[in-house]
Amino acid sequence: MATAEDNDKKAERLRRARDLMAPRGGGGVPSAPASAPAAAPDPASARSGGLLEMIAGLFRARPAAAPSSSPAPAAAGIEPPAFTIIVAALVGDADGAAAGYLNQALTARPTLKVKALGKVFHLDNLEDPSLVSSVVLNTRHAVAEEDADLLVWGDFGKEGYRLRLATATTDDERAAAFGPSTRVELPKDFSEPAGNLLYAAILAALDPVTETQRSALRRHLPAAAAAAEALAAKPPVQMSMPQQRSVQLVFGHVATAAALAVPPAEAASWLDKAVNAYRQAQRRLGRADPGWEAGLLHKHIAAALAAKAEREKTGAAPLWEEAIKEWRQAVETLPRALMPQEWASAQVRLGVGLYRLDLLTGQTELLRESLQALQATLQVYSRTETPQRWADIMHTVAQVLEVYGDQAKSVEVLKRAVDACHSVLEIRTRERGPLAWAATQNTLGSALFMIDRHSEGSTAHLAEAEGVLGAALEVFQAHGARGPAKVAAKNLAHVRKLAEARKARKGIDPHWLDE
């Protein structure tokens, strides 16, 4: 019997994936979950005739369970799985043995429910944007269709496994985002250390949608990251250079994700480990490797540095400066024509980083560069094709214009910020996304207030500012968003104070002042 949380989880996943659905292609039918093995899988037996029988069993329908009025309770002391993982058939794995070995290895891991999928997802050329886009869309489709949390897909060859991880939605700007360019490369008969890295990578790539899942991730991810650290600290010399680079890059993602899961006091240590791992991956780049590999590493380093800067109470400015340097290199290195999404996300993060550094230092020239970076991304994210992404970027543009106009005391720039907010509110509605709507209203109200503050004696915009800020505050409070509510309340107090001051000034007889 499905619980209310299960239904909420399914509805949330379907809602987030509905705009990403591609027409259903061919492929096999998913099997029932495999049963957990009594011991760790044996690589030799994984390629025996017995394994072939096991693989066939994975795709065989399970007998219907006897009806029951309530779900069977979990065994005492055993935590039920929080995440459903699909292992797809692998390119180059003719007999299914390699996929079966993966299935066994993951089924033994806590908090995972593993299912096999007889469909193959093929990606040979990462430098073909249309091919990458098509495959990514199909992987997201599979995750949503199977009501799963993550898909493991890829290929199997003479060097071993080359795996990729996909969820129903992917945020390219999230620190440690797993995308098609992030490959988990493992030897053919990988042992426990490599298995630890794969398990940690899966946890790091997950996008939890319920509080139960978020709680499970907080419990399991730090321990999994710690178990994977030994392999990243010294990859075996038997591994090929691409495999060693993959180990370092993937552990960088894992360490970054762990930093977001642990208490704030422990985050800095994990982020330092992430930056070090990414730099170790840089050292393993060869002359024949494509330039975008270096660009992605610059982007990952910048994201980890920014995550650390956001948690620093003092001394954040040098971290932002270092992150901005890395983002600039990423933008210069990533080919826009071949990797438009990666290039655009690096531009967005560069723009935001420059904006954040200006808030700390007051260097107005940073805001000009920020606006240039953000506006460049609109060549990739358009209002018609990607309206929500376009609205996110335009809201950031409005925030930058607001700060820029305030620093320059420019009413014209502030009016541009107001216009940008109005455009965003045509996409962001209170019904569809109340918190995003309220955030835009807060920015709009702040810009309106500043227009009158820099227009001597004017009160033309204060009434509108009070109205939109009051509406934003109401939504923030209703949804328990304490931080944004505090900001909106503070902005509302400034508006009312200025309105009272201007009203009192108008009530003074100017002839009395002359006397």
Q: For the segment 278-316, what is each residue's pLDDT rounded down to a tens digit? A: 999 999 998 888 899 999 999 999 999 999 999 987 889
Mean pLDDT of the chain: 85
Q: What percent of the chain has pLDDT over 90?
A: 69
Q: Which residues contact 382 (CB under 8 A, 6 or more apart)?
A: 390
Mean pLDDT of all residues in 227-256 = 94
Q: What is the pLDDT of residue 177?
A: 86
Q: What is the pLDDT of residue 457?
A: 76
Q: What is the pLDDT of residue 169?
A: 80
Tokens of 346: 């690096």
Residue 155's H or E segment, with its range, is strand 150-157
Single-letter residue type at 138: N
Sheet holding 160-166, edge to edge: 112-120, 83-89, 150-157, 160-166, 184-186
CB 248 within 8 A of CB 293: no
Q: Is the pLDDT of residue 20 over 60?
A: no
> How far is Cα 21 from Cα 9, in angstroms, rounded to an integer?
18
> How far is Cα 130 from Cα 93, in angstroms, rounded to an integer?
25
Q: Is the pLDDT of residue 35 over 60?
A: no
Measured in residues, the chain has a length of: 515
9 band by pLDDT with thresholds 50, 70 and 90: low
Closest CA to 426 of 457, 394, 462: 394
Q: For the segment 301-354, what is each residue's pLDDT rounded down to a tens digit? A: 999 999 999 998 788 999 999 999 999 999 999 999 888 889 999 999 999 999
Pick the CATH number of 381-504 from 1.25.40, 3.40.109, 2.40.160, 1.10.1740: 1.25.40
Q: Is the dihedral of CA 484, 487, 489, 492 positive or negative?
A: negative
Locate CATH 1.25.40 in the chain.
381-504
Q: Is the pLDDT of residue 411 over 80?
A: yes
Q: What is the pLDDT of residue 37?
A: 34
More confident residue, 128 or 382: 382
Q: What is the pLDDT of residue 175?
A: 79
DSSP per-residue string spanning 169-216:
S--TTSTT---TT--EEE-TT--HHHHHHHHHHHHHH----SHHHHHH
The tokens 């029932």 sit on which residue?
A: 32
- Residue 17's CB is within 10 A of a number of other CB atoms, namely 17
173 band by pLDDT with thresholds 50, 70 and 90: low
Q: What is the pLDDT of residue 333?
A: 95
Tokens of 424: 């965003």
Closest CA to 304 of 347, 328, 272, 327: 272
Q: Which residues contact 403 (CB under 8 A, 6 or more apart)?
A: 355, 358, 359, 367
Q: Is the pLDDT of residue 468 over 50?
A: yes
> How far is Cα 45 from Cα 36, in angstroms, rounded to an integer?
16
Q: For the segment 42-55, what is each residue's pLDDT rounded down to a tens digit? A: 444 444 444 334 43
Q: What is the pLDDT of residue 174?
A: 76
Q: Is the pLDDT of residue 2 over 60?
A: no
CB 462 within 8 A of CB 498: yes
Decide: residue 37, CB within 10 A, 0-12 exposed, 13-18 middle, 19+ buried.
middle
